[in-house]
Amino acid sequence: MGTILMVGTRKGLWVGRSDDRREEWSWSGPHHDMEEVYSCLVDTRGSRPRLFAGTSSSWLGPQVRWSDDLGESWQETPGGAIRFPEGSGATVERVWQIVPGVGDGVLHAGTEPGAVWTSVDGGATFALEEALWKHPQKEEWGAGFGGQAFHTILPHPTDPDSITAAISTGGVYQTRDGGGSWEPRNQGIRADFLPEDQRYPEFGQCVHKVTRHPSRPERLYLQNHGGVYRSDDEGGSWTSIGDDLPSDFGFPVVVHPHRPDTIYVFPLGGGDGRYPPDAEARVWRSDDAGGSWTPYDDGLPNPFYVGVMRDGMCADTHDPAGLYLGARNGSVWASADDGATWRQIVSNLPDVLCVKAGVTQD
């Protein structure tokens, strides 16, 4: 079996290839040189993997590109594909998320400004989720430090009408009728930046990332601007699980591909110092759905004065699972043993924005 790792940066995309041992890596790139790559996807649903990249050029704007030959050549979606209707007064600035949906050729994308889009033809065209774009609460959504964007899209693994999405700054929203309506799902999530008596609003939280395991779709894990949470009713209510962490501020949260109770976070020192507490790079793992946490730093750098973005950490589906960590200093670290030990697999890239892994049968 083969392993593919896509690394999106502020100045292009790199594609790494390895076998199932994940000891030696070969790299190609930069692809889309000097373009920001905020999102990428290794789509392994077809007979061969298709790579997607959400790129953004300061001259030509955003684009969704794909490759069927592991990056040797790239195609562009016709006319840019993701474009607001004429007269909307909005322009897509970045594509923050590309994820597979339920069904052949179904993809979902999240953009800045905050909108969700759906493709049913493999990314050739995308349709705006109008009900979310026109949501009555939309005018009160704020913009986080990185901008206002839907950075999380979680299609239900078996119900094509159910999607959970999250935006900074707006919170978690969910549709159960195929996009006809969307409701906020933020009960119990704290908004520290609001006055004390208003810190549990219906919406407006600065959610950083949400994830879940397909075998337990009702259980969600969330990394907030401040706080780590779990929901056991698909976002109906949330419980804090971050008390044993050195900091509850961070960006990524990743679920183990085979164990739905095992999750990973990378705590940072908060809004004032966005590097790990005490400058010690540590991935914290919980094997009991957030009941307790254990740090893992074998092979990670110390001191470490840079952060990891919301899509800067991911897992592959090997057994044991591989974990990948891309940092803002252009280094990428990998673990081939469920996160227990780490080693650097590439360095000196531009600022890493996202990493995505895929497993192939060759």
Encode pLDDT of 248-290 as tens digits.
999 999 999 999 999 999 999 976 788 999 999 999 999 999 9
- Nearest CA among 11, 133, 111 for reference residue 63: 111
Region for residue 93 given its phi and psi (left: phi exceeds 0; alpha: psi -120 to 50; beta: otherwise): alpha
What's the token pair of residue 128? 């705006």
pLDDT band at 167 (very low <50, low <70, confident <90, very high): very high
Question: d(Cα 332, Cα 277) in Å, to the nearest integer?
Answer: 20
Can you tell me whether residue 318 is helix, strand or coil?
coil
- Nearest CA among 208, 310, 216, 306 for reference residue 256: 216
Q: Which amino acid is at 282?
A: R
User: Which stretches does DSSP call E strand in 195-290?
Assistant: 207-211, 220-224, 228-231, 239-240, 249-255, 263-268, 283-286
pTM of the model: 0.96
Give yes or no for residue 61 having a pLDDT over 90.
Answer: no
Can you tell me whether residue 129 is helix, strand or coil?
coil
| All domains in the chain, ordered by first residue | 3-359 (2.130.10.10)
> Would you give the end-to-end CA distance of the chain in angstroms?
5
Give yes or no for residue 169 having a pLDDT over 90.
Answer: no
- Nearest CA among 104, 106, 203 for reference residue 163: 106
Question: d(Cα 160, Cα 105) in Å, to the nearest integer?
Answer: 13
DSSP alpha helix (H) spans, the chain: 130-133
Residue 79 has a pLDDT of 62
Residue 300 has a pLDDT of 98
What's the token pair of residue 316? 């592959």
Number of CB atoms found within 10 A of residue 215's CB: 10
Least confident segment among 202-211, 231-240, 263-272: 263-272
Number of CB atoms found within 10 A of residue 280's CB: 15
The mean per-residue pLDDT over the stretch 125-152 comes to: 91
Beta-ladder partners of 287: none
pLDDT band at 322 (very low <50, low <70, confident <90, very high): very high
